[in-house]
Structure 1
Amino acid sequence: MRANRDMELPEHFWIPVTLDTHNITSLSPFLVPQDHLGGSGTFYAMAGFMFFIFVVGTGINALTVACTIKYKKLRSHLNYILVNLAIANLLVSCVGSFTAFCSFASKYFIFGPLACKIEGFLATLGGMVSLWSLAVIAFERWLVICKPLGNFIFKPDHALACCVFTWVFALIASVPPLVGWSRYIPEGLQCSCGPDWYTTNNKYNNETYVMFLFGFCFAVPLTTIIFCYSQLLITLKMAAKAQAESASTQKAEREVTKMVVVMVLGFLVCWVPYASFALWVVNNRGQPFDLRLATIPSCFSKASTVYNPVIYILLNKQFRSCILKMFGMGGGEEESSTTQSVTEVTKVGPA
Structure 2
Amino acid sequence: MYRVLNISSMAPPVVNSTPGPFDGPQWPHQAPRSTYLMVAFLMGTVVVLASFVNGLVILVSLRYKKLRSPLNYILVNLAIADLLVTFCGSTVSFSNNINGYFILGKSVCEFEGFMVSLTGIVGLWSLAILAFERYIVVCKPMGDFRFQQRHAVIGCLFTWVWSLIWTAPPLFGWCSYVPEGLRTSCGPNWYTGGANNNSYIMMLYITCFLMPLSIIIFSYTTLVFTLRAIAAQQKESESTQRAEREVTRMVIAMVLAFLICWCPYTTFALVVAIDKDIKISPTLASMPAYFSKTATIYNPIIYVFMNKQFRNCMLTMMCCGRNPFGTVEDTSTSGSSTGKTEVSSISAGISKVSPA
Q: TM-score if structure 1 supplies the norm length?
A: 0.90
**2:341 equivalent to 1:347:** no
**Are 2:338 and 1:335 equivalent residues in the alignment?**
no
Q: Aligned residue for 2:20? A: 28
**Could you list the runs of 5+ residues in structure 1 that have no partner in the other structure?**
1-19
Residues of 2 paired with 1:37 and 1:199: CA distance?
17
Offset at 1:53? Answer: 0.5
Structure-1 residue corresponding to 2:7: none
User: Residue in 1 aligned with 2:8?
Assistant: none
1:66 corresponds to which of 59, 72, 75: 59
Alignment correspondent of 1:48: 41
The equivalent residue for 1:214 is 205
Q: How many residues align?
A: 330
Aligned equivalents of 2:191 and 2:34: distance in 1? 25
Residue 244 of structure 1, CA deviation: 2.1
Who is 1:284 aligned against? Answer: 275
- Indicate the residue corresponding to 2:257 in structure 1: 266
Aligned to 1:12: none
Contact 1:50 1:100 in 2 (8 A): yes
For residue 341 of structure 1, what is the amino acid of its counterpart? S
What residue number does 1:161 align with?
Answer: 154
| TM-score normalized with structure 2 length | 0.88
- SS of the residue corresponding to residue 293 of structure 2 reads helix
Equivalent positions of 1:167-186 (< 5 A) are 167-186=160-179
Alignment of 1:96-107 (within 5 A): 96-107=89-100
Q: Aligned-pair RMSD on alpha carbons?
A: 2.1
Paired AA for residue 342 in structure 1: S
Partner residue, 2:113 = 120
Amino acid at match of 1:81: I
Q: Counterparts of 1:221 and 1:25 in 2: how far apart (Å)?
A: 44
- Counterpart residue number, 1:317: 308
Deviation, 1:287, is: 2.5
Tell me which amino acid in the other structure corresponds to 1:32. G
CA deviations on 1:218-272 (whole Å, 9 max, x unpaired) are 1111111111111100110011112223332222111110000000001101110
Distance in 2, matches of 1:254 and 1:117, equals: 46
**Aligned counterpart, 2:32:** 39
Pair 1:149 & 2:142 matched: yes
Following the alignment from structure 2 to structure 1, what is the Cα–Cα distance between the partners of residues 323 and 54? Answer: 21
**Does residue 303 of the first structure (1) align with residue 303 of the second (2)?**
no
State the Cα distance separating 1:152 from its structure 2 match: 1.8
CA contact (8 A) 1:248 1:341 kept: no
Match of 2:5 in 1: none
Deviation at 1:26, TM superposition (A): 6.0
Unaligned runs of 5+ in 2: 1-11, 335-342
> Aligned-pair distance for 1:151?
1.6
Q: Contact 2:78–2:123 at 8 Å: present in 1 too?
A: yes
Report the CA distance between 1:21 and its aligned residue.
6.8
Give me the whole-angstrom Cα distance separating, in 2, the residues matched to 1:311 and 1:25.
Answer: 47
Aligned residues of 2:18 and 2:26 also touching (Cα < 8 A):
no
CA deviation string 1:9-56 (max 9, x = no partner): xxxxxxxxxxx9799996111111001100011000000000000110
Same amino acid, percent of matched pairs? 48
Amino acid of the residue matched to residue 347 of structure 1? K
Residue in structure 2 matched with residue 109 of structure 1 by the alignment: 102
Question: 2:344 corresponds to which letter in structure 1?
Answer: S
- Does the CA contact (< 8 Å) of 1:317 and 1:333 recur in 2? no
Q: Deviations over 1:122-149 (max 9, x none)?
A: 1111100000011101100101100000
Q: After superposition, what is the alpha-carbon deviation per residue over 1:85-110, rounded to whole angstroms, capped at 9, x for unaligned?
A: 00000000111000000000111011
Indicate the residue corresponding to 2:266 in structure 1: 275
SS in 1 for 2:85: helix
Residues 128 and 173, structure 1, Cα contact 8 Å, conserved in 2: no
Deviation string 1:139-164 (CA, Å, 9 cap, x unpaired) is 00101100000122111211111111
